[in-house]
Chain A
Amino acid sequence: MTSHLLLLAVFAFFVSTVFAALMRDDPRAQLQTGGLLFGSFLLTAVVLGWLMYPLPL
């Protein structure tokens, strides 16, 4: 399992799940919050990745 994108998605999934369970009590609200967090994680990572693309290492 060396794909950075896959690891990012797995990490985002678990963190979103824990945060959603911490922040919301109702299962439906947990699902909505978790999905929103997960999508935000992925979108932010992809956007930041492209923004950093031109920068020299």
Chain B
Amino acid sequence: MASKSTTAERARASAEPGTCVLVCLLAWAVPGAAHFWLGWRQKATVFFVALTAMFVIGLALNGRIFPFEFAEPLVALAAIADFGLGLPWIAAHVLGVGRGVVTAVTHESGNTFLIVAGLLNFLVILDAFDLVTGRK
């Protein structure tokens, strides 16, 4: 486990707005990366492994990475949730995966994995923000 003094010292030292934005961007791009940088290695590993695994399982279950179609509010909300996972989301777009197979039995389960992985990473970003601002 990371020592709390190291984390607290880093939080105090890095509470400038620019650093907060950088930490949040880092947390968005790679799940757990911000916690790793802040010294919470064990938590960082858990976030990276769990969220990446959820994303990969979601894709393997024929889940769909939803497009930003604001004419359809539920699709747009799902797209915002998917977007929470940063680089894996970008990689999926670049590689052309995540189109989903609507007829697959596991399609909805795959969607659930993808959406919840993104939403959980939003919570991880908020946790990193709290750590860097010294609120936690």
Contact = CB atoms under 8 A, between A and B. Distances in A.
Nearest to A26: B1
Interface of A: 1-2, 4, 7, 10-11, 14-15, 17-18, 21-22, 25-27
B106 A17 contact: no
Contacts, number: 44
How big is the B interface, by class?
20 to 34
Nearest to A2: B105
Interface of B: 1, 4, 42-43, 46-47, 50-51, 53-54, 57, 60-61, 105-106, 109, 112-113, 116, 120, 123-124, 127
Contact of B43 (A2, A4, A14, A21): A21
Contacts of B116: 11, 15
Contacts of A21: 42-43, 46-47, 50
A18 B113 CA distance: 13
